Chains A and B, each alone.
Chain A
């Protein structure tokens, strides 16, 4: 548990270049909900408790669409299922830590924290070095995220509707999807999902997301089986 200053500082140094990319996303996570009709308190509540930008914006869009609460719950959790993958990658590195550290540290798990950590970790580092490096990345991101959400929530009330700020939600998602499509199967997942969800949407906007996502994943898996997947990402 003892503080490893050099590991923490190294984490801070490695996360600093990512900060300019996080700020606008954080401002959006505050401003877009408020602009859509959420109270600033709810926008901050989401950032503190959920602490996962893509699902926060998805919640706002689905509430705007008057989806059912169950659909919103499932859709948000499906979007956040990627954290299971990150958790699995981090687990071997955190195995030597005592329980309290393994209990609180996952709350701070983000796309950035996972990606930088897994890139940096090697067998010569002990679990506490790894924990403090990860915290050096994650704690600044957490503080930044809360400050940006609060700022965005306060500013959001003053943004006129003609600015179509809600359009930022699909744009942010687009910038997340495109780099995620790393091979043909991923492309199949994205395309099938988009087509199926769009086709079902006029009938039931609630079903559209889940049916789209599920058919996308199943098609991509089938594509893998038919055309082969060599195990290289």
Chain B
């Protein structure tokens, strides 16, 4: 159960299938089962926090921590490129622009330094 995941592992199919089943049940939830029970405003509000919180928790740790320790400096190319992309995301709200500028920034810094 608690063993760590690996790409070559056949069990990965099993776990991805569980994720797929769970995701389907979440999508099904109100449309199929509870069509009479719309969640109240408080519950909807709490649900609305989840995307921002969950995605932030995935974005930052792996980039801010490099080699097992905090790496907040210009030597951390990915952190710098991420901050540039953050500004672009805030200004444009455009996925393509964020991807393009973020990747290009990383390539340029990697090439120059």
Task: Please give the residue numbers on chain A whose beta carbons come within 8 Å of chain B beta carbons, in ascending order.
Answer: 20-21, 24-25, 28, 36-39, 42, 45-46, 49-52, 54-55, 58-59, 61-63, 65-70, 72-73, 75-88, 90-92, 94-95, 99, 102-103, 105-107, 109, 162-164, 167-168, 170-181, 185-186, 189-194, 196-198, 200-202, 205, 208-214, 216-217, 220-221, 224, 229, 231, 233
A95 to B102, CA, bound (A): 43
A111, closest chain B residue (CB): B51
Pairwise interchain contact A105-B31, C-beta atoms closer than 8 A: yes
A-B contact pairs, 19 of them (CB 8 A): A21-B95, A69-B1, A69-B5, A73-B19, A77-B19, A79-B51, A85-B39, A88-B44, A99-B32, A162-B110, A170-B78, A171-B102, A174-B89, A176-B51, A200-B61, A205-B62, A216-B54, A224-B45, A229-B45
Pairwise interchain contact A197-B61, C-beta atoms closer than 8 A: yes
B83 smallest CB distance to A (angstroms) = 10
B110, closest chain A residue (CB): A164
* Residue from the list A87, A200, A202 in contact with B28, Cβ < 8 A: A87
With A42-B13, A95-B35, A177-B51 in contact, is A81–B26 under 8 Å at CB? yes
Residues facing A in B18-33 (CB within 8 A) are 18-20, 22-24, 26-32
* Residue from the list B2, B49, B60, B82 in contact with A220, Cβ < 8 A: B49
A86 to B50, CA, bound (A): 13
Task: Please give the residue numbers on chain B whose beta carbons come within 8 Å of chain A beta carbons, in ascending order.
Answer: 1-8, 11-13, 15-20, 22-24, 26-32, 34-35, 38-39, 41, 44-65, 68-70, 78, 81-82, 85-86, 89-90, 93-96, 98-99, 102-103, 106-107, 110
With A83-B27, A221-B46 in contact, is A73–B22 under 8 Å at CB? yes
A226 smallest CB distance to B (angstroms) = 14
Pairwise interchain contact A88-B39, C-beta atoms closer than 8 A: yes
B94, closest chain A residue (CB): A175
With A68-B5, A80-B23 in contact, is A180–B52 under 8 Å at CB? yes
Closest 3 interchain pairs by CB? A216-B53, A212-B57, A49-B20
Pairwise interchain contact B46-A217, C-beta atoms closer than 8 A: yes
A113 smallest CB distance to B (angstroms) = 10
Complex interface: chain B residues within 8 A of A212 (CB): 53, 56-57, 61
Pairwise interchain contact A106-B24, C-beta atoms closer than 8 A: yes
A213 smallest CB distance to B (angstroms) = 4
B1 smallest CB distance to A (angstroms) = 6
A202 to B51, CA, bound (A): 23
A102 to B90, CA, bound (A): 37
With A45-B16, A88-B44, A167-B78 in contact, is A174–B26 under 8 Å at CB? no
A69 to B85, CA, bound (A): 30
- Given A51-B20, A67-B4, 17 more A-B residue pairs with CB atoms under 8 Å apart are A66-B6, A69-B1, A69-B3, A78-B50, A80-B26, A85-B48, A90-B31, A91-B30, A162-B110, A171-B102, A174-B89, A174-B98, A186-B48, A209-B57, A212-B56, A216-B53, A216-B57
